[in-house]
Structure 1
Amino acid sequence: MPFVTTEQKLLAIVAHLAYFFGGLGFVIAPLAILIWKREDPFIYHHAKQALVVQGVLLIASLAVGLLSMLLVGLLLVPILVLAGIALVVTSLFAAYNALNGELYRYPLIQSLVDRL
């Protein structure tokens, strides 16, 4: 892999850890980085990975929230909590890889990432 600059590493890390911004920042930040730096393969890869995994978690959260209104979703809340914990752990690992100038692929979502 060619030399990775500090800016590239920083933007990749921000894409992965954007959920710490709160609100919809966890989807907006990776999307903005993806659009802004789409010509940079390192940043594009990391932003795309982060956007897909955080988007999947957002959709799952919305689905569980809607199902909770019917009381069915309450059974899914523990699974959603485990998915959130998995997101924190894997995104920290992804940020660490970005800091080292390496690419990272989130587990379980690669078929979806490859299609986009």
Structure 2
Amino acid sequence: MNITGEQKLLAVLAHLAYLFGGLGFIIAPLLIFLAKKDDPFVYEHAKQALVAHLVILAVSVATGLLCALLIGLLLLPIIAVLWLLLLITSIIAAVKAADGQGYKYPIIQGLVNKI
């Protein structure tokens, strides 16, 4: 399978969308996911990134709510580690995408496979 430069760029953008700030880290991979359903390479990368970003968003929101109750303060180091893990794995995924290879984020494959 010959992967084009455009396919690689879209896949990399999906993984590194958190660099856009705000909700760009959800919107960019979602738009790529929806627009490229007919492209297995880009679709799979966008799906991986979207699920990973949604999981970190959900965990961050839940921790934020728990912080309001002071319970979540104990979870802040865990959130920091999860964001660091997302940073590392998304960079690895982006490099793989740029090389025309697939990538599967660790831990979340059960959720990814349901989509």
Q: TM-score range by the shorter chain?
A: over 0.9
Aligned to 1:3: 2
**In the alignment, which residue of structure 2 is the partner of 1:12?**
11
Which residue identity lines up with residue 44 of structure 1 in the other structure?
Answer: Y
- Identify the residue that residue 101 of structure 1 maps to in structure 2: 100
Counterparts of residues 46-61 of structure 1 (less than 5 Å): 46-61=45-60
Query: Paired residue for 2:34?
Result: 35
* Identity among equivalent pairs (%): 56
Q: Residue by residue, what CA displacement relative to the aligned partner does 1:23-68 show, whole Å, maximum 9, x if unpaired?
A: 0000000000001111100000000000000000000000000000
Give, as a single letter, the amino acid of the residue that structure 2 aligns with 1:79.
I
Work out the CA distance in 2 between the residues paired with 1:84 and 1:44. Answer: 23
Cα distance in 1 for partners of 2:9, 2:84 equals 23
Q: Deviation above 2 Å: which 4+ runs of structure 1? A: none
CA distance in 1, matches of 2:7, 2:111: 24
Partner in structure 2 of residue 24 of structure 1: 23
Q: Hey, what's the Cα distance between the residues in 2 that align with 1:74 and 1:56? A: 19
Q: What runs of 5+ residues in structure 2 fail to find an aligned partner?
A: none
**TM-score normalised to the size of structure 2?**
0.99
The CA deviation at 1:19 is 0.2
